[in-house]
Amino acid sequence: MILQEIAAKTRLRVEKCKIQKPLEEIKAEVLSKKNTRPFLFEQVLSSDDLSFICEVKKASPSKGIISRDFPYLQIAVDYEKAGAAAVSVLTEPEFFMGSDNYLREIAAAVDIPVLRKDFTIDEYQIYEAALLGAGAVLLICALLSLEQLQHFRKTADMLGLSCLVEAHDAVEVDKALAAGARVIGVNNRDLRDFSVDINNSIKLRHKVPDNIIFISESGIKTAEDIEHLRKNNVQAALIGETLMRSQDKVKELTRLYGAVKMPRVKFCGITRMEDADILNMVQPDYAGFIFAPSKRRITLSLAQSIKKRLALSIDTVGVFVNEVPKAIVDIAHALTLDVIQLHGDETEEDIKQIKQASGCDVWKAVRVKNSGDIEKWRNSSADMLLFDTFCDKLAGGTGRSFDWSVLRGLKRPFVLSGGLRSTNIVRAIRGVDPWGVDINSGAEVDGIKDSAKIKEIMTIIRRLK
């Protein structure tokens, strides 16, 4: 049986690794380092909608070589830009032509968690995975006894790594549950003969409690397959060959996921005439001028010159922080702003006064620490709420994102801001369905708006339709 053959080869590989670096040595090395994002794999899969784990795989025993050129780093980055929740990386070298180096480099290149996809038969491999930068390891029920599963899970728990415990039939699902698995994947491919039946995971879904993350693995090829998984309360799909063979990862994942409503797009912190030329090419909905203490602060005269150069189809937003209402209104009239964005400690009374005096729409920026910050402003008279990352020292422009999950269930439209860039914009849009997105530092190089970054972000967003 091919699975046992792979396991035998893996044991030989592990024994060679132990000679080069003994278990106690690798243990000490791993334990000397702090895991700054423990169990991130489980966190990203605990969303309201189905998540995607996208696989980086050069070859497989059933399909042979899938990618001859195999630009593995670019593939992983493309997956992240396409909205993957996590990346799975094959490290088994003989049958799948994988490598530990692929995992190490990919884990350093992406912000989403990485699953080490290998045939774990020794605790040594769990310490290896932690050292390589993995956020999760694969434990296959068909290879391991219940005692081994429990021991390996506890070892991974100690290191802050998640375990994807893989089953293929009802007996193995029971085994995974008995081992205390928090994430169970049902493989639609029978590893004994490599036959595939996507309904295999659906048939076994009822055996796994709702508080345990359930993943469907292998053989998922169509949007209809994904919808079938959604309807059966599957939290994630692990997809390999279908995506590996696609030249456009964003387009292919959009085909599988389903189109989403495209948000309005604002690029904030416009400071140069050249910025207007860039925006005119890509046609976002809004351009933002910052009239507050910031490295992107702009004078009224320069803003007027830039606005003359901007296409009429692009609305302008003036950003203010704790400014005197009259000064805000004067600038709004002088620039004929479309929107006033208040990014400080302004009150409801300030909002009403500025709206009435300026005749502009008013957006109120809310810096989010927790859900209480959202509740406080839920019924604001502002035309739009903009949610940004909280920072004690900066009113905005931190380049950092916050936990978007606190926005789920918010009934009124909102703009999402804070750390948005090409690598996370799709996850943000799919995750919380914002009315609009506000991009600042994520479209810059060394504090200056970058044409290539702006074009890439707009291209990615428009592929979601």
What residues are annotated to the active site? 55, 57, 117, 166, 187, 217-218
Q: How many residues does the chain have?
A: 465
Question: Within 13 A of 280's CA, how many CA atoms are on the CB side?
Answer: 12
What b/e string do you get for 283-303 counting C-beta neighbours within 10 Å, with b at 16 or more?
ebbbbbbbbbebebebeeeeb
The whole-angstrom separation of Cα 457 and Cα 138 is 33
**Residue 376 to residues 281, 361, 380, Cα–Cα distance (Å):** 39, 20, 8
Closest listed residue to residue 115, CA positions, set 157, 126, 9: 126
Beta bridge partners of 415: 386, 436
Yes or no: say if 389 and 402 are a contact pair by the CB < 8 Å rule: yes
Q: How many CB atoms lie within 10 A of CB 458?
A: 22
CB 420 within 8 A of CB 401: yes
Contacts with 36 (C-beta within 8 Å, 6 or more apart), sequence order: none
Q: Sign of the CA dihedral 406, 408, 413, 417? A: positive
Helix axes 249-257, 425-432, angle to 10 degrees: 10
* C-alpha closest to that of 108 among 132, 84, 83: 132
* 80 alpha-carbon distance from chain centroid: 6
Token output for 132? 């390589």
- Report the C-alpha gap between 255 and 249 in whole angstroms: 10
Helices vs. strands in the chain: H and E counts, helices first: 19, 20
- Residue of 437, 442, 422, 448 lying closest to 274 (CA atoms): 448
